[in-house]
Each structure stands twice: as C-alpha cells, then as structure tokens.
Amino acid sequence: MNIDGSSNDDIIVQIIDYDEVPDSLFPFFTSYRIQFDPHIRCYGFFQTSELVAVAAVIPEESDFQGGFQSVGCPIIYVFEVRTDLQQKGLGTKCAKILVNSTLSDNTIQLCCISSIIPFWSKIGFEVRSIDQTFNFNKMVLRKEKDREKD
C-alpha cells in the first residue's frame, strides 16, 4: 500500500529516514544528503520489499528556521531510481505515484537540468523559468484542479 492507503502496480511508498538509503544504490541521492535538513521528507519506493527509487521533498510549509525555504508548494528536491533498474518504466511509475498519490498538493515544483526535462514532462511538469547561473530549469506541475484557474 501507498502512504494514502492505495495500491499501485505493486509499488509501495513509505516515508523513510534518508540515512537508510544505501550509497551504492543511490549515489545521486546520497551525494545531496549532507544538505538535507529535518524538514525534508524522504520517500522510499519498494517493489516486492526491495528499495527501487527514492525521493526527497521539501514540504510546502514556509519559514523554516535555519533550513530550506519553501515557495508555498512542495519541491521535489531529489528523485532517483536505482541505476540497475533505469530505462524500464519504473521511474515514470514511481514519479506518477509521488505526484498523484503521495503529494496531495495541487501545485508541485522541481528544478532539473535540460536532459531530464522530457522525463518530467511525461509526468505533467512544464518549464516555467531557467536559472542561468546553474542552468537549471524550474518546472511546475499544476494538477487539473489548478489548471482550470490559469
């Protein structure tokens, strides 16, 4: 079952401690771990009790004391599928579960490099701006309820 009690094609989502994520399986995720603060929520995606993907999300609440600042909606800070399981559709499945079932907010944002835009576009995110300093693309997903307001 997922955090919200639903099941999705044998993928189970659980809140996990970011220190439980193995460096050898998720090097990108763990390279950012040193920057995590206590407010970041980490999610583990399990298939037949095996950790297949992880995500770190900055929640929508703002004004953290000494931590990350939110922008009024959750930010997907890090998302990674195990290297040996990439290019098999698992990342798309897990990302859809994250934005559609796990995160209940109507607007979600993330930043990514240009080469990853097609992946997040399939999930429903759109590029809103580009940070020229780091060449990051700010992408925003607005669920159907919010899209009607645009």
Three-class secondary structure of residue 105 per DSSP: coil
Sort strands 75-81 and 50-58 into parallel, antiparallel or unpaired: antiparallel
Record the tokens describing residue 121, joined without a space.
């576009």
How far is the CA of 148 from the CAs of 24, 79, 145, in angstroms? 43, 28, 6
* Residue among 107, 111, 97, 130 nearest 2 (CA): 97
pTM of the model: 0.81
Q: What 3-state class would DSSP assign to 80?
A: strand
SS3 category, 27: helix
Structural domains in the chain plus CATH codes:
11-147 (3.40.630.30)
Alpha helices, DSSP H only, in 46-135?
Answer: 90-97, 117-123
Per-residue pLDDT in tens (0 to 9) along the chain, 150 residues: 344 434 456 899 999 998 889 999 999 998 888 777 777 889 999 999 999 999 999 887 655 555 566 667 888 989 999 999 999 999 999 999 999 988 888 889 898 888 899 999 999 999 888 776 667 788 888 886 544 444
